[in-house]
Amino acid sequence: MYLHGTSIINAEGRLEIGGCDTSDLASRFGTPLYIYDEQLIRTRCREYRDAFQATGLNFQVAYASKAFCTMAMCRIVEEEGLSLDVVSDGELYTALQAGFPAGKIHFHGNNKTPDEIVMALEANIGCFVVDNFLELQVLNELARARKVKANVLLRISPGVDAHTHEFISTGQIDSKFGFDLGNGTAFRAVQETLKLEQLRLLGIHSHIGSQIFETEGFRLAADKVTRFAAEVRDQLSYTFTVLNLGGGFGIRYTEGDTPLPSADYVGAIADAVKTNFAAYNYPLPEIWIEPGRSIVGEAGTTLYTIGSVKDIPGVRKYIAVDGGMTDNPRPALYDAKYEAMLANRALEVEEEVVSVAGKCCETGDMLIWDLALPAVRTGDLLAVSSTGAYNYAMASHYNRIRKPAVVFVKDGKADLVVRRDTYDDVAGNDLIPERLMKQPVAK
């Protein structure tokens, strides 16, 4: 397993993150446990900011909170000077409860409900990233009723396929997201927005996919979007002041993944934007990006306790952990690959190849196939790396399994930022109608 951020193997031969021995964390907080390397999160935030500062562009880096949205995370994002993307009332609520400045919140989503829009208008958020014509109308009406103006970016579908897994690519023409650039829909959306009095159009938004390892897709998107901006200026006399190029910057899950430094993505985007806008003699807009996975993914590690072991001689050895698809659905959803190590015996030589099974009642609940480990014993701790993005965020209560706790570790200190679910968190919303109440047995 690759050691990200502050992860080391300590003198006792155990995995240590943020100066905390993972064996101690397991005893103190129990397993499964999501462990976040706070320093690495902060470093990632700063890398994006520093890279933009070096370009001289006006910019906003908005953390796409859907990757991992908790109140403590929102605090770090604010401290590091980033903006925040939300895609639901629940994420918006989390950010507001954490005291995140509303003016730096951007609201995404292809089907925002009227209630969500009202909540965001009343909080006076910074900007709505509008996805479709219905939303334009509803937002305009709800803003008029409140006598406010809403800042708007239009999400366009640029028709760029960023060469990624088909389930997580969103830039191609056949997508549920955004106004299509190629067939004139995006142009009509701009015309429509400019007619709506309660909306203040800032610019356009494009997001081409996820887990992208090259800069070419961003260049292509920047090219298309600039040409569109020039067309809008020439035909409608309207100049965009914001260009948002989305997120999707790749991270390392396994050795097959080859992410670029954040500065490379930012540099390529800045070069493309500067060149293109100069070519059209167009005033440079503010450039926004929205990294999610690359801020938190590598900072997260999930710690499990190994329980049952099933050896099928000549076929395969399964080791089962005390979590699975409920805390990490990505292998089942996307066939995602992960690396892992024995956290309590991290220096011992690999002796066997095992496959890591979850504890859910699904044959597909497998976390890792064919993992080389030292001879595994029941009670060992298994650490799976790069679980910081879309793990806790996608966790479910399938099989009524309680969601794990989340801790932030830094400089030898571990702080609980989400407590482990209680039984009440799984069954506490259940109601038994009167007619189903258990009757006292008649004597």
Ligand X SMILES: *Cc1c(COP(=O)(O)O)cnc(C)c1O
Q: How far is the CB of 77 from ligand X (least distance, A)?
A: 13
Which of 104, 207, 345, 410 touches ligand X (CB under 6 A)? 207
Catalytic option among 20, 74, 127, 361 = 361
Phi-psi region of 230 (alpha: psi -120 to 50; beta: other; left: phi over 0): alpha
**Two tokens at 284?**
């440079």
Which of 5, 32, 247, 329 touches ligand X (CB under 6 A)? 247
Rounded-to-integer distance, Cα 349 and Cα 21, Å: 20
Round the CA-based radius of gyration of the chain to a whole number and report it.
24
Catalytic residue flag (residue 361): yes
Rounded-to-integer distance, Cα 358 and Cα 365, Å: 5
Nearer to ligand X by C-beta: 104 or 293? Answer: 293
Phi-psi region of 390 (alpha: psi -120 to 50; beta: other; left: phi over 0): left
Rounded-to-integer distance, Cα 46 and Cα 60, Å: 12
Stretch near ligand X under the rule CB under 6 A, chosen from 62-70, 140-148, 302-310, 407-415: 62-70
Nearer to ligand X by C-beta: 225 or 306? Answer: 225
Nearer to ligand X by C-beta: 60 or 210? Answer: 210
Nearer to ligand X by C-beta: 162 or 346? Answer: 162
Q: How far is the CB of 164 from ligand X (least distance, A)?
A: 9
Nearer to ligand X by C-beta: 246 or 285? Answer: 246
**Helices 262-279 and 38-55: angle between axes, nearest 10 degrees:** 30
Q: How far is the CB of 251 from ligand X (least distance, A)?
A: 9
Stretch near ligand X under the rule CB under 6 A, chosen from 112-120, 159-167, 244-252, 429-437: 244-252
Binding mask 374-413 for ligand X (x = CB under 6 A): ---------------x------------------------
Query: Does 67 help bind ligand X (rule: CB under 6 A)?
Result: yes
Which of 4, 14, 42, 108 touches ligand X (CB under 6 A)? 108
Q: Which residue's CB comes closest to ligand X?
A: 292
Residue type, 265: Y
DSSP 175-199: -SSSEESTTSHHHHHHHHHHH-TTE
Binding mask 150-179 for ligand X (x = CB under 6 A): ------------------------------
Helix ranges restricted to H, 108-256: 114-123, 133-145, 185-195, 216-236
Query: Does 246 help bind ligand X (rule: CB under 6 A)?
Result: yes
**Two tokens at 62?**
């908005």
Cα–Cα nearest to 152, from 93, 96, 112: 112
Q: How far is the CB of 21 from ligand X (least distance, A)?
A: 30
Cβ–Cβ contacts within 10 Å for residue 370, how many? 9
Half-sphere exposure of 261 (CA within 13 A, CB side): 10
Catalytic residue numbers, as ranges: 361
Applying CB under 6 A, the residues found at the interface with ligand X are 64, 66-67, 108, 207, 210, 246-249, 290-294, 389
